[in-house]
Amino acid sequence: MAYGGDVPVEPPPTIWEFPSPARFHPRDDLIATGADLEPGTVLAAYRRGIFPMPVGGPRAPMAWFSPVRRGVLRPRELHVSRSLARSVRRFEIRVDTACAEVIDACADPRRPSGWIDAQIREAYLRLYELGWVHSVETWRDGRLVGGLYGVAIGGLFAGESMFHHETDASKVALVGLVRLLDDGIDRLIDTQWQTSHLASLGVTEVSRRRYLRLLPGLLELPDPDFERRHADVRISGRTPHRAQRQAPG
């Protein structure tokens, strides 16, 4: 990784101004179009509860979203079934060793509803080089078979996409991410939207208003130490305990 240290490199600030939450349409996830994907722009968006997603083809302006109902997961509230716990033992989990390959697998055009294009790939690899984007990878017999990637800012991990080439490989990557983030600090994984698949793993929904109220406190928390903790993830055989407390509403 190019930044070569434990602290991510802050890029030059964006020249763009995103709309304030007061201007968000109360029933529309889409809040703006345009701007660019410079590192400073993308980070400014995440710090405002916004993320980019291309719609309408390569020549269309970039779309920016802040979901009305946000999918979130507290690390200690991950649901690990008995079958998933068995699957964890079949794979090796690595961190930040194949970020480009993870993004490419997530962007595979054969996947239904694929949305990751060349400009998104470039943008997130630039953030990876600066230390803001991380990949959690599932390996078996020396082959990358699953993984996820996302943006880590303070106590927030904003998940972008995940993939699997073997059963449970993406779920095991999520288990690995939870191990990294379960460090005694009240962190939050943002999954953008909740799906039935994610709900089965413990992802719940919060309102946009609630998410935006949580965000400033999350951003003030210390960054997770991916450099120090990734070795523990690779060798640990434990799985996170299912918490009994409720996610924020």
Write phi, then psi, for 48 (nearest 5 degrees).
Answer: -110, 10
Given a cut of 60, whether residue 234 has pLDDT beyond it is no
**What distance in Å separates the CA atoms of residue 106 and residue 167, rounded to the nearest whole number?**
16
Given a cut of 50, whether residue 240 has pLDDT beyond it is no
Are 43 and 105 contacting, i.e. CB atoms less than 8 angstroms apart? no
The percent of residues in the chain predicted with pLDDT above 70, rounded, is 88
User: Which residue ranges make up each domain of the chain?
Assistant: 21-65, 69-235
- For the purposes of burial, counting CB atoms within 10 Å of the CB of 139, is it exposed (0-12), middle (13-18) or buried (19 or more)? buried
Per residue in 116-168, pLDDT (tens digit) is: 999 999 999 999 999 999 999 999 999 999 999 999 999 999 999 999 999 99
pLDDT for 230 equals 55
Neighbours of 225 (CB within 10 A): 11
29-38, 105-114, 184-193: segment of lowest average pLDDT = 105-114
pLDDT for 229 equals 55
CATH 3.40.630.70 for domain 69-235: yes
Query: How is residue 136 annotated by DSSP?
Result: E
Given a cut of 80, whether residue 237 has pLDDT beyond it is no
Per residue in 48-71, pLDDT (tens digit) is: 999 999 988 778 899 999 999 999
148-152, 173-177, 222-226: segment of lowest average pLDDT = 222-226
Are 92 and 140 contacting, i.e. CB atoms less than 8 angstroms apart? yes
Q: Rounded to an integer, what is the distance from CA 31 to the centroid of its chain? A: 20
Compute the average pLDDT of residues 22-42.
Answer: 97
Token pair, residue 80, equals 């690990």
Per residue in 186-208, pLDDT (tens digit) is: 999 999 999 999 999 999 999 99
